[in-house]
Amino acid sequence: MTEPMKTVAVIPAYNEERRVGNVIRETKKYADSVIVVDDGSKDGTMQEAEKAGAKVLRHIVNMGKGFALQTGCDRASENADLIVVLDADGQHDPSEIPNLVKALEEGGLDLVIGSRPPNKNMPMIAKFGNWWIRSWFDILFGIKTKDTQSGYRAFTAEAYKKIRWHSTGYFVETESIINASKHKLKYGETPVKTIYHDNYKGTTVIDGVKIFCKMLLWKIRQ
Amino acid sequence: MGIQLIGIAFGLFMAYLTYLYYKRKNLSFNDLAIWMAIWAGFVFVTIFPEALEGFVKPLMFYRLLDLLMVVSFMVLFVLIFLMYSTNRKNEQKINRIVREIALKKER
């Protein structure tokens, strides 16, 4: 009989004391362990994460989402078979982790992206930004994905070694897909809910412009 | 003469600033020596611009001012490049330090 895969969830968090505890408690139901990377928060994120029972790695200064994810995934890959990454702001529903894991296992995939179908809750600017980046991503790299920017993903620990990114900011999502494609890894998508809160702190318009410029630079470098 | 006075004042002010940074131990003695030589050269050229007159014609410049402009831009670009590469090196060091602390002090 084969042993069940060990799933570790990695949650980067920056000033998320209000929501991180709940996200961890929910995530623990679907993952064997939860690692929170407190990315230099100035509020009680670290204490809330500890209280909720997560392993906490703390950056002494804010380094960016990509860097925080890397710290968490480096630690997770030491003893995990599967790594699931999700945001600390409650934008991703942890009850969908089994769907991502199932897609990964049943499809024999290395990486699964939880793609968010646009809905009425999604801000117009986010819809436009996703469309713009997705279209250019297809034009530049020939990779068709429904949602390049979704931070809700699952991948095998083996795949992580190949998709390990260098971006410290929000380019991490795009870079990891490019790396997966470069290493000919099998990747797929599974739909996830789109939850947007009033005080959304994720990718901004400026981040979107930066992502677009970095895509162009990556293409030139290739 | 006016532009020379401004140049001299600027050179002296920068020399004073350099000394201040050295006194606060932000610069080493070597840094102080190099920067003082640069400011001294700057003040010298401001007072005696004709000292560079000999370079204008052989280097095919029309005026002394053109030569100074080109040299200034070259110096600026070198400084920007040095600052950029130092910044990148420091960034990599900070990345390593922050990650090592985070991984060692897991809670």
Mean pLDDT computed over B46-64: 85
Instruction: Note the pLDDT tens digit of each residue in B68-103.
Output: 889 889 999 999 999 999 999 999 999 999 999 999
Distance from the B79 Cα atom to the nearest Cα atom in chain A, whole angstroms: 24
Q: Is A60 on the interface with B (CB under 8 A)?
A: yes
Q: What is the DSSP letter of B57?
A: T
Q: What is the CATH number of the domain that holds A47?
A: 3.90.550.10
**Segments forming the whole domain that contains residue B77:** 54-107
CB-based contact B98 A56, cutoff 8 Å: no
The interface predicted TM-score (ipTM) is: 0.73
Average pLDDT (A50-62) is 95
- Do B104 and B60 reside in the same domain of the chain? yes
Asked whether residue A52 is domain-assigned, the answer is yes
Residue contact A57–B98, C-beta within 8 A: no
Q: Which of A46, A55, A63 sits opposite B98 (nearest CB)?
A: A63
- pLDDT averaged over every residue in chain A: 89
Specify if A206 maps to a domain. Answer: no
B105 — contact with chain A (CB < 8 Å)? yes
The model's pLDDT over A103-147, given as tens digits with 9 standing for 90+, comes to: 999 989 999 999 888 777 777 887 888 888 888 888 888 888 888
Same domain, B62 and B18: no
Which domain covers residue A180, as residue numbers? Answer: 7-117+150-197
- B-interface mutation test, from A59, A73, A78, most B Cβ less than 10 A away: A59
Q: Which residues of chain B lie closer than 8 angstroms to A71, CB-CB? A: 99, 102-103
Q: Could you tell me what percent of chain A has a pLDDT over 90?
A: 57
